Amino acid sequence: MPDPMIADRYQLLVWGGTNRDITKANNGTRKEDTAMPEAQIAVIGGTGFYGMEGLTDLEEVRPETPFGDPSDAIVTGTLEGRRVAFLARHGRGHRLGPSEINVRANIFALKTLGVRWILSVSAVGSLQEDIRPRDFVIPDQLYDHTRHRTTSFFGGGLVVHVGLGEPFCGPLRRLLVDGAESTGLTVHDGGTYLCMEGPQFSTKAESNVYRGWGFSVIGMTAAPEAKLAREAEICYAAIACSTDYDCWHEEHDSVTVDMIIENLHANVDHARQVIRHVVPAIPLDTTCRCHNALANAIVSDRDSVPAGTLEKLRPIVGRYFE
């Protein structure tokens, strides 16, 4: 790992090969090291969550990916003694709507940094009376109701079918539930996150249908994020922060924007507290089933996969082709 204090530093993450860290040394020549992971844990912040307080030794990296640019520079730093990568899902300044987020680039970039665990935070509306504003839900199920998003890394001669029966990582979910409980928050252990396309909110007819389906919360970003994290063999769990009841609720029309924004800010503060509890508790030296999600998922004959496809996806599938 190069000295992070070297002022003239270039982070070049080569997606076609192993994760390498190329540093311009003080004498102007380039020194190339096989890098340690930049971070094994990532936090993806949603609406209102554009920076991770408490992160020290900050660096910004802009990994190149074959899918384009991530939502913003990824900020790496130390939190509770561990290296953590933070990415603002909508970009700092909230520049990207939910359908504009380049989710493949985001997940791929985190993969190239060495990330193996993702804590995802998002603002949601509640579809159930008992999930009150400012409650947290740690969902165990996901319903993808989006319509205009690319949901897979694969194709181009490489067919892969990953299992998504349990779309969120069980052990990571458990840590989030425990972390939220230990900070005194009201947390719902399990529930279904319905991901809609947006950017408009639901009609009452839609909202009532989703309630009839028994879903818990509605948001715009967990899909395809969870799917792509699974394809990238990264453990992924979400904190869904309820800002208000969706439009089905009689309270809805009396809720002001100011109230929702207050809830949003309170939720972000609470989510940061939960993350600070959870980050040191993640067992970095263990392997979860998510980390081997592709082991029995690659359908194409190894010999028939085009070299270009393999090269493009090497950080994700390379170890299965060695």
Which residues form the catalytic set?
A: 244, 246
Asked if residue 290 binds Zn ion (CB under 5 A), the reply is yes
- Helix or strand (DSSP H, E) at 74: strand 74-79
**What is the C-alpha to C-alpha distance for residues 179 and 163, in angstroms, rounded to an integer?**
27
Q: Shortest Cβ distance from residue 190 to Zn ion (Å)?
A: 16
d(CA 234, CA 86): 15
CA distances from 226 to 9, 16, 193, 196 (A): 33, 24, 11, 14
Q: Which stretch binds Zn ion (CB under 5 A): 83-91, 154-162, 167-175, 247-255?
A: 167-175
Q: Are 241 and 123 in contact (CB under 8 A)?
A: yes
Please identify, using beta-carbon distances, which residue of 145 and 174 lies nearer to Zn ion: 174
Least distance from Zn ion to the Cβ atom of residue 172, Å: 6
Q: Six-digit token pair at 163? A: 């299992």
Pick 218 or 290: Cβ nearer Zn ion = 290
Tokens 């996806």, residue? 313
Q: List binders of Zn ion among 168-197 (CB under 5 A).
A: 169
Among the residue ranges 20-28, 75-83, 210-218, 286-294, the one whose residues contact Zn ion (CB under 5 A): 286-294
Encoded tokens for 24: 């311009």
Q: Is 239 in the site for Zn ion (CB under 5 A)?
A: no
Asked if 236 and 230 count as a contact pair (C-beta separation under 8 A), the reply is yes
In the bound complex, what is the minimum distance in angstroms from residue 293's beta carbon to Zn ion? Answer: 9
Our CB check for Zn ion shows the closer of 194 and 290 to be 290
Which of 28, 137, 82 shows the shortest CA–CA distance to 280?
A: 82
Residue 170 or 308 having the CB closest to Zn ion: 170
Q: Under the criterion CB under 5 A, does residue 288 sit at the interface with Zn ion?
A: yes
Closest by CA position to 37, among listed 90, 92, 74: 74
Q: What are the structure tokens assigned to 86, written together?
A: 């933070």
Assign 3-state DSSP to the chain and report helix, strand, coil percentages, each to 5: 30, 25, 45
Cβ 290 to Zn ion shortest distance, Å: 3
Q: Nearest approach, Cβ of 272 to Zn ion (angstroms)?
A: 22
Give how many residues touch Zn ion by CB under 5 A. Answer: 4
Taking residues 110 to 149 in sequence order and writing x for each that binds Zn ion by CB under 5 A, - otherwise, the string is: ----------------------------------------
Among 235, 247, 297, 317, which residue interacts with Zn ion (rule: CB under 5 A)?
235
Residues that bind Zn ion (CB under 5 A): 169, 235, 288, 290
